[in-house]
Amino acid sequence: MAPRGPGPGPGRRRPRNTGGGVVIRRVHLVESGGRGGVFNHTVELAAGLTGIGVDVVVHTADDCDPAPASVVLCRCVTWHRASRHRRVRQARTSARYLARTLPHLHRVIGPQDVVHVQGLFALTPELISVARRRRAAVVTSPHNTFVRSDAPGGGRALRSALTGDRVLVHSDADRRDLLARGVPNVVQVPLVQWTPPPRPALVERWRAELAPDGGRLALLPGQVRADKNPELFVQAVAQLPGWRGAVVGDDLGPGRQVDALVARTGAPVTTAYRYLDVDEFTALVASADVVVAPYEVASQSGVLAVAARLGVPTAVAPCGGLGELATAVARDTTAAAVRDAIVAAYELGAQPTDTADAAGRFLDEYTAVQRSRGTGRARTR
């Protein structure tokens, strides 16, 4: 844990005057998980803010994934990941969070700070309560505006996140949905992901493993969940002569069913169930001809953001905000429609996207929150 008190501290930047008398002393990005898409988004945002002169620290897990060298990490969250019993892991993690992480955050957050809560965590309400007690501006990015059935405390966490002084979402579909649900202060911002340049040797290794015959490769990467429709992906690839498919990521439930379907249908699909670090994941995405997201439920997708950065075409189901980043959108959620979207995405191709100005967009929102708190106004767009 980094000892950061309310003062600037040695080597820290002075409070930033963002114009109009609005002062932001420090931005605290709180991402409690330390792994995966939300973490990679958070550290990319932190790197961008640091690059434009903002004093920013990321509060995250003590066993977090690597991050860009410029990012200041406060490893103040301890996850008890070793236990095989889910309830034991949850209880021990929560107890440590309440006893250690929240008191630490109470000490280091000040009234001129912005606390930006990334993702949803069972103790999100308590985290927001600490920020409010310290009179800091509270910005939230729930990332998902729905709650999965296997997320303990997810509904409570989402309800709390939607009370932020500003709620940042990454798709127009989410923005419109939350406005229709009566949530104020909703703003759409870019979905940025830390995407290190792929290592050619890793890309070649993935290609050799997943498409050894030199065929075109359709890829379903990331956490393997039932609501991501991996079985629909298998059915679509089975209808694509000359293509191979791959389902690669941490298996969170449906792996056995997916493997059984591959065996039963003879679909040319390889499965590899394990967690990937950022270098492996980036190389995996770069190895694909088309990245596929045939999801049943979604807000937006960090996988699609990584593919967009790398210039890899993407094909998606018509779900949530997926179509806003995709190269091609299936006409419906049948295997034939997903198959046709994969072919369309391949034929259309894609160019790498540039997100260099994204950090400025976030800083604009932080500044607007500080200004509205001073004047009593709120804003939605």
Q: What is the DSSP string of 71-88?
A: --EEEEE----S-S-HHH
Q: Residue 260: enclosing H or E segment and its boundaries?
A: helix 255-265
Q: Which residue has the higher pLDDT, 318 or 92?
A: 318
Residue 183: DSSP 8-state: -
Query: Is residue 116 domain-resident?
Result: yes
Query: Is residue 318 domain-resident?
Result: yes
Residues 59 and 169 in one domain: yes
Residues 155 and 122 in one domain: yes
Query: Is residue 149 domain-resident?
Result: yes
Query: Is residue 186 domain-resident?
Result: yes
Residues 217 and 306 in one domain: yes
CA-to-CA distance for 108 and 10, rounded, in angstroms?
14
3-class DSSP state for residue 169? strand
Residues 63 and 152 in one domain: yes
pLDDT tens across 180-212, in order?
999 999 999 999 999 999 999 999 999 999 999
CA-to-CA distance for 258 and 172, rounded, in angstroms?
32
The token pair at 163 is: 């009370």
Query: Is residue 324 domain-resident?
Result: yes
Q: What's 365's domain CATH number? A: 3.40.50.2000
Residues 32 and 154 in one domain: yes
Query: Is residue 313 domain-resident?
Result: yes
CA-to-CA distance for 363 and 359, rounded, in angstroms?
6
Residues 178 and 268 in one domain: no
**Confidence label for 88 from pLDDT (cuts 50, 70 and 90):** confident
CA-to-CA distance for 183 and 380, rounded, in angstroms?
9
Query: Is residue 3 domain-resident?
Result: no
Helix ranges, 163-216 (H)? 172-180, 200-210
The token pair at 46 is: 């932190």
Residues 84 and 162 in one domain: yes
pLDDT tens across 220-251, in order?
999 999 999 999 999 999 999 999 999 999 99
pTM to 2 decimals? 0.91
Residues 255 and 160 in one domain: no
Residues 268 and 129 in one domain: no
- What is the total count of domains within the chain? 2
CA-to-CA distance for 144 and 300, rounded, in angstroms?
8
Domain assignment of residue 160, given as a range:
16-192+357-375
CA-to-CA distance for 114 and 25, rounded, in angstroms?
8
pLDDT of 90 reads: 82
Residues 180 and 208 in one domain: no
The token pair at 90 is: 């949850």
When mean pLDDT is compared across 75-84, 204-213, 313-322, the lowest value belongs to 75-84
Query: Is residue 2 domain-resident?
Result: no
Residues 23 and 169 in one domain: yes
Residues 108 and 140 in one domain: yes
